[in-house]
């Protein structure tokens, strides 16, 4: 039986007033769908095709042709709220093409908007929780012409009533097969800050135990793979695909310092050298563990700094302070680990003076790269719930969008102290002040390691210049 897995395109991505699209910063394979595909293909149980429309820049007419020629019995599609309109158009076209195929949606969006998806999308079911085994069981039931309504994780609608089964959770992540990366086009994978090597993303844990008020991740139960299992996947990628640069895509990679040290030791025991980077927090690091990471090939850490004032850090419930941030960035600079600082402007009650302080703080930290974002109160975040409770929004904008996806949806912002246009101008100002410094440009030129690296930097600089120098229309 044929199974088609699809990651939708991102033509109408909701980014708020942000100068870059997500693909400008880097585009990586969809690990979630690859995990599912690998489980389905085990023992040749199903014939599986994965089309990553975002990665491979596949257009809707192309995927419909693929659908017709491959003739799947079941289609599984990933979902993200910020790409919902593209998802809706895709599902609508698939359903118009076939009334018989079983269409199933999984991913972060349906975790938050399960009922709304079942009410407004022409799908047969959704899957909440970990999708690997739930989706396989769904496919087995379809193949065997059996009812699938009692499968864990499944949600469906019958007689205008939604039914949501208990989400499926994989207790031991080490039991999952390594995702088969050949399911997508490896040459399409790229990162704006990579060093030009063959690169892939890798996930060593799921969920995050922190409760940041702006975070819209629905996965709060933190589960980690063992160090041995993680490095075994690295070795598999190196031996099978020749990949030797890795980006740990975990929400929080360095939560457990002991495990991080074990991963570094295992990497050092490999017979070859790799480089890697991760997304982490400053309060789980010190000079000793950073040196351990550096010696094991860590070249870059992406930090969620968010703010340059203690007041905003408390509002965001970051549970870090400015001294911790400055200390870790200084250590990284001293030992030669690149840093990416992520900053938010336009938080609840944040003043223009506080935003100016954050911009100055970001420059003083002297990270290798920065990303600035105007805060978008995403659905079910504490900030969004608070705005609804205080009547700062006329209605539940995100719920309405989930029920009726729109092509040009303008997400809500925190406009209690500044207007949308003022926040946009401050965002452009922040990018211009950081990246257009003469000393920074010279430093980046000295860091160039290859022609590919040069071309990536030129492309990024060109896009940045076009954006920050033009007026908003």
Helix axes 352-365, 322-335, angle to 10 degrees: 30
Report the candidate in 162, 152, 153, 151 with the shortest Cα–Cα distance to residue 121. 162
Q: Residue 231 pLDDT more than 70?
A: yes
pLDDT (0 to 100) of residue 370: 95
Q: Residue 465 pLDDT more than 80?
A: no
Q: Residue 359 pLDDT more than 70?
A: yes
**Where does the pLDDT of residue 473 fall: very low under 50, low under 70, confident under 90, or very high at 90 and above?**
very low
> 230 and 360 in one domain?
yes
Among the ranges given (277-286, 354-363, 435-444), the one the predictor scored with the smallest mean pLDDT: 435-444
Q: Residue 379 pLDDT more than 80?
A: yes
> 202 and 159 in one domain?
no
Determine, yes or no, domain membership for 332: yes
Determine, yes or no, domain membership for 322: yes
Report the candidate in 426, 427, 435 with the shortest Cα–Cα distance to residue 460. 435
Determine, yes or no, domain membership for 394: no
**Where does the pLDDT of residue 275 fall: very low under 50, low under 70, confident under 90, or very high at 90 and above?**
very high
Calpha distance 270→234 (Å, rounded): 10
Determine, yes or no, domain membership for 363: yes
Q: Residue 457 pLDDT more than 90?
A: no
pLDDT in tens, 325-342: 999 999 999 999 999 999
Determine, yes or no, domain membership for 383: no
Q: Residue 458 pLDDT more than 60?
A: no
Contact 167, 155 (CB under 8 A): no
3-state DSSP assignment of residue 280: strand
The enclosing domain of 11 has a CATH number of 3.40.50.280
> 343 and 420 in one domain?
yes
> 259 and 152 in one domain?
no
The enclosing domain of 420 has a CATH number of 3.80.30.20
Determine, yes or no, domain membership for 131: yes
> 224 and 152 in one domain?
no
Determine, yes or no, domain membership for 429: yes
> 119 and 25 in one domain?
yes
pLDDT in tens, 28-55: 789 999 999 999 999 899 999 999 998 8
pLDDT (0 to 100) of residue 111: 95
Residue range 309-333: average pLDDT?
Answer: 98
How much of the chain exceeds pLDDT 90, in percent?
80
Structure-block tokens of residue 166: 């208990």
Which is more confident, 51 or 440?
51
Residues of the domain holding 154: 2-164
Calpha distance 258→143 (Å, rounded): 45
pLDDT (0 to 100) of residue 197: 63
Domains in the chain: how many in total? Answer: 2
pLDDT in tens, 208-228: 999 999 998 887 789 999 999
> 202 and 149 in one domain?
no
> 233 and 155 in one domain?
no
> 206 and 160 in one domain?
no
> 224 and 128 in one domain?
no
> 362 and 319 in one domain?
yes
Residue range 353-371: average pLDDT?
Answer: 97
Determine, yes or no, domain membership for 385: no
pLDDT (0 to 100) of residue 471: 46
Verdict on whether the full-model pTM lies above 0.75 = yes
> 199 and 155 in one domain?
no
**Where does the pLDDT of residue 402 fall: very low under 50, low under 70, confident under 90, or very high at 90 and above?**
very high
Output phi, psi for 126, to 5 deg.
-125, 165
């Amino acid at each position: 039986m044929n199974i088609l897995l699809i990651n939708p395109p991102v033509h109408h991505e909701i980014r708020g007033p942000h100068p870059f699209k997500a693909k400008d910063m880097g585009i990586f394979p969809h690990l979630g769908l690859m995990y599912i595909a690998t489980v389905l293909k085990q023992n040749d149980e199903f014939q599986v095709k994965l089309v990553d429309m975002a990665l491979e820049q596949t257009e809707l007419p192309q995927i419909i042709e693929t659908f017709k020629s491959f003739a799947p019995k079941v289609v599984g599609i990933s979902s993200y709220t910020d790409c919902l309109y593209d998802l809706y158009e895709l599902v609508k076209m698939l359903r118009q093409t076939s009334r018989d195929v079983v269409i199933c949606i999984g991913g972060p969006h349906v975790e938050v908007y399960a009922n709304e998806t079942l009410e407004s999308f022409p799908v047969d079911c959704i899957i909440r929780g970990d999708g690997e085994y739930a989706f396989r069981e769904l496919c087995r039931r379809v193949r065997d012409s059996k009812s699938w309504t009692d499968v864990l994780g499944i949600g469906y609608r019958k007689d205008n009533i939604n039914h949501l089964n208990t989400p499926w959770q994989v207790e031991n992540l080490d039991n999952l097969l390594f995702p088969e990366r050949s399911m997508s086009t490896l040459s399409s994978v790229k990162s704006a800050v990579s060093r030009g090597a063959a690169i892939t993303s890798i996930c060593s844990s799921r969920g995050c135990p922190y409760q940041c008020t702006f975070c819209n991740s629905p996965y709060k139960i933190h589960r980690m793979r063992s160090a041995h299992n993680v490095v075994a996947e690295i070795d598999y990628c190196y031996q099978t695909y020749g990949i030797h640069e890795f980006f740990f895509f975990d929400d929080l990679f360095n939560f457990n310092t002991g495990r991080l040290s074990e991963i570094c030791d295992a990497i050092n025991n490999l017979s070859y050298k790799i480089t890697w980077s991760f997304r982490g927090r400053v309060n789980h690091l010190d000079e000793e563990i950073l040196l351990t990471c550096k010696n094991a090939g860590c070249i870059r850490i992406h930090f969620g700094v968010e703010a340059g004032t203690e007041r905003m850090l408390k509002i965001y419930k970051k549970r870090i302070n400015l001294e911790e941030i400055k200390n870790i960035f200084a250590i990284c600079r001293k030992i030669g680990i690149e840093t990416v600082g992520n900053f938010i402007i336009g938080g609840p009650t944040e003043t223009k003076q506080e935003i100016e302080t954050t911009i100055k703080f970001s420059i003083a930290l002297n990270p290798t790269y920065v990303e600035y974002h105007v805060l978008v109160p995403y659905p079910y975040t504490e900030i969004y719930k608070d705005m609804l409770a205080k009547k700062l929004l006329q209605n539940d904008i995100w719920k309405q969008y989930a029920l009726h996806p729109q092509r040009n949806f303008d997400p809500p912002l925190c406009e209690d102290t500044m207007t949308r246009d003022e926040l946009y101008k401050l965002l452009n100002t922040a990018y211009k002040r950081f990246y257009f410094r003469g000393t920074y440009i010279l430093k980046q030129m000295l860091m160039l390691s290859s022609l590919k690296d040069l071309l990536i930097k030129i492309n990024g600089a060109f896009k940045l210049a076009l954006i920050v120098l033009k007026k908003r229309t």
